Chains A and B, each alone.
Chain A
Amino acid sequence: MLNEIQFLLCASLTLAGAVAAMMLRNLVHCALCAAGAFAGLAALYLQLDAEFVGLAQLLIYVGAIAILIVFTIMLTRGEEIRPGVPIASPSWWVGLPVGALVLACLIGAVMASPSLVRLPAGAVHAPVRKIGEALMNGYVLPLQTIGLLLTAALLGAVVISLREPRNPESKTR
């Protein structure tokens, strides 16, 4: 019973944050609501006994990605905040039915499968020590690849957003 109340709280926080992030007009409010949705997801992970992933989600999404999004919003001063400017793209009438169709398919598949209405087998324990040992033994190649990928992404982000040097040819644009 307590578990279901916790689940309902976390799930409603997540979904309300997600809907608000996609519906609000002010971009900073959208970023804050998205951070709330990410925090609700972290709570759901913690409720599913995945402590390490829940805390990593809190650190990376609420700590880093939300700040990055706020900085981008600040650097790209959106024009949607002014009333009268539409917040939806001209083809929004395609997006909403596609979302509804995908939702209907997913919910139908989940509801039609009786094997999905089940309870967990027993208590599970995934301590950080075990995760670290797995990362250093079986998953060491993916771990190194992720390190390489993150380095490349970091360098790529810096290079892409570098201000280009002004030369006389490009001044005429």
Chain B
Amino acid sequence: MTTPLANYLVVAALLFSVGLAGALARRNAVLVLIGLELMLNAANLNFIAFWRFGPHAGELAGLMFVIFSIAVAAGEVAVGLALVIAVYRHRRTVQVDRLDSLKG
């Protein structure tokens, strides 16, 4: 175990930025959801890294947070993809720039 904590944090920051840029820039709603998942995973990686390098690694709090976060993410992606399918059924498209009926 010789990799310092900062390396993991840099990887998580890169992952978060890639997910954020993708979620903001892509047209397809499914890919926006994948970008959201990447951001959530970057946060989970930070939790695990801080748990492992922290002074109280025997306390398991970081691990528990990630377990619950993964469960919430699973529910979130199920509802999100169901919404994408429902939108596709009504509008015949999942391109986010064409779902503009609320635009003034």
Contacts and interface: CB of A to CB of B under 8 A. Distances in A.
A155 B79 CA distance: 9
B24 A92 contact: yes
A76 B94 contact: yes
User: Secondary structure of the A side of the interface?
Assistant: helix
A94 B79 CA distance: 27
In which size bucket is the chain A interface?
A: 35 or more
B2 A3 contact: yes
Interface string B28-69: 101101110110010011001101110101101001101110
A88 B27 contact: yes
Contacts of B66: 50, 53
A88 B96 CA distance: 10
B71 interface: yes
B28 A27 contact: yes
Contact of A53 (B23, B33, B63, B86): B63
Interface string A108-127: 00110000111111001010
A125 B37 CA distance: 28
Interface string A47-73: 011101100110011001100110111
B71 to A, nearest CB: 5
Contact of B13 (A73, A107, A135): A107
Interface string A1-41: 10110010001001100110110000100110010011001
B70 A57 contact: yes
A99 B18 contact: yes
B102 interface: no
A44 B88 contact: no
A27 B76 CA distance: 20
A94 B26 CA distance: 11
B83 A160 contact: yes
Contact of B82 (A41, A45, A119, A160): A160
Interface in B69-88: 70-79, 81-86, 88
Contacts of A73: 30
A139 B64 contact: yes
B79 A156 contact: yes
Given A48-B49, A102-B20, 4 more contacts: A1-B2, A50-B51, A99-B17, A119-B1
